[in-house]
Amino acid sequence: MWLYLVAVLAGLFLLRRWHRERQTVPGLSEKYVLITGCDSGFGNLLARQLEARGLRVLAACLTETGAARLRAAASPRLQTVLLDVTSSRSIAAATAWVRECVGDRGLWGLVNNAGIAIPTAPNEWLTKDDFVKVLDVNLVGLIEVTLSLLPLVRQARGRVVNVASVMGRLSFFGGGYCISKFGVEAFSDSLRIEMRDFGVKVSVIEPGYFKTLISNAENLESNYLSIWEKLPEETRESYGENYLKESLVMVRKMQKRCSSNLTLVTDCMEHALTSRFPRTRYSAGWDAKLLYLPLSYLPSALTDVVCTWSYPKPAQKASGRDAA
């Protein structure tokens, strides 16, 4: 009896959610959306996807080559601007340009998509500058872009969509990438609470492993090798050559497992921008839904076992007495 009641209630809940999420905001053809990181990957695909949907897209690219290629593939509804999210001057110039474009309408959507993945390696192999390089793009740049454009988003009672990662919940590898994505989650949560009374909705996209990450990290193996060569001899002896070889094998396996269906992510972004009732968080990819997110809720002891199951083993392990 109780089982049937729970099933009926769950069915009604899912039906209501399905109905709410199918409702779109009116007047999409008059709404402006700025997307960062549009040279390639998610940003590039989303810009073309939203332009085809009829929205007015302001695509921020790092290079003129990327901007020109994107303009050639779209209609005049899509405009481009050069933006380096690590440069305050570049952000200020882009903000002034956006203000001029949107006028009194305000900015309906801001999609913080720009990001990098390398340098990445075991934490002990890296320097402070290696961490800062990633954090400047993925976190500090995202924050500065958001703060600069937030008045225009408030004016439109619009949306902020931040691209985090499942690695923002569960840190599988060293370097600034996972740290930055944890930071994106925290910033988004506080921003969502603060903007609620202004009518601004904040969503977080949490993709699993996709080809766009690998396109940013296509030189990941050479990255590992160059970092390894700079390590002190003592550190290399502690880890051992076999650790390096197994790490490279793990990288190659990760590359093969990455999904090439980027629309799984861009569809989530589009929904967050166009639905009357966007979700707070979107998990994109079956690996995110069925593996990484469930793992993030397990006790740390169990998560550590799963995470280190196929992890490379260092040459010099702690003895039983040392480990205790």
Every domain of the chain and the residues it spans: 27-214+260-310
pLDDT of residue 155: 96
Q: Which residue has the tokens 């949490």?
A: 206
Using CA of residue 278, residue 283, residue 289, residue 293, what is the dihedral sign? negative
Please give the pLDDT value at position 43.
Answer: 95
The DSSP symbol for 297 reads T
Average pLDDT over residues 253-266: 83
Name the CATH superfamily housing domain 27-214+260-310: NAD(P)-binding Rossmann-like Domain (3.40.50.720)
Q: In whole angstroms, give the CA distance from residue 30 to residue 274.
A: 12
The pLDDT value given to residue 318: 59
**Which pLDDT value is given to residue 217?**
46
pLDDT per residue over 155-208, tens digit each?
A: 999 999 999 999 899 888 889 999 999 999 999 999 999 999 999 999 999 998
Least confident of 24-38, 246-260, 269-283: 246-260
Higher-confidence residue of 320 and 222: namely: 222
* Model confidence at 35: pLDDT above 60: yes
Does residue 99 contact residue 156 with C-beta atoms inside 8 Å?
Answer: no
| pLDDT of 218 higher than 70 | no
288 vs 317, which has greater pLDDT? 288
Q: Is 177 a catalytic residue?
A: yes
Contacts of 290 (CB under 8 A, 6+ apart): none
Q: Which one from 177, 224, 239, 243 is the annotated catalytic residue?
A: 177
Listed in sequence order, the residues at least 6 apart from 168 whose beta carbon sits closer than 8 Å to its beta carbon are: 178, 181, 182, 184, 185, 204, 206
Q: Indicate if the pLDDT at residue 214 is higher than 70.
A: no
Per-residue pLDDT of 140-150, as tens digits, reads 999 999 999 99
Which tokens hold the place of 224? 């590992």
**Residue 88 zone, left/alpha/beta (φ > 0; ψ -120 to 50; rest):** alpha
Q: Is residue 216 predicted with pLDDT exceeding 70?
A: no
Asked if residue 287 lies in contact with residue 246, where contact means CB atoms within 8 angstroms, the answer is no
The predicted pLDDT at position 127 comes to 94
* Residue 267 pLDDT > 80: yes
What's the pLDDT score for residue 21? 66
What's the mean pLDDT in 258-265?
86
pLDDT at 310: 76
Looking at the predicted structure, is the pLDDT value of residue 219 above 90?
no
The alpha carbon of 51 is separated from its chain's Cα centroid by a whole number of angstroms, namely 21
Please state, in angstroms and rounded to a whole number, the distance separating the CA atoms of residues 230 and 232: 7
Q: Which amino acid is at 224?
A: Y
Alpha carbon dihedral 236, 237, 242, 246, in 10-degree steps, equals -40
pLDDT band at 19 (very low <50, low <70, confident <90, very high): low
Nearest in space to 110 (alpha carbons), one of 126, 119, 125, 99: 99
pLDDT digits (tens, 9 = 90+) for 226-237: 899 999 999 999
Backbone φ and ψ for 192, nearest 5 degrees, come out as -60, -45
pLDDT computed for residue 308 by the predictor: 80
> What is the pLDDT, as a whole number, of residue 53?
92
Task: Specify the pairing of strand 159-163 against strand 78-82.
Answer: unpaired
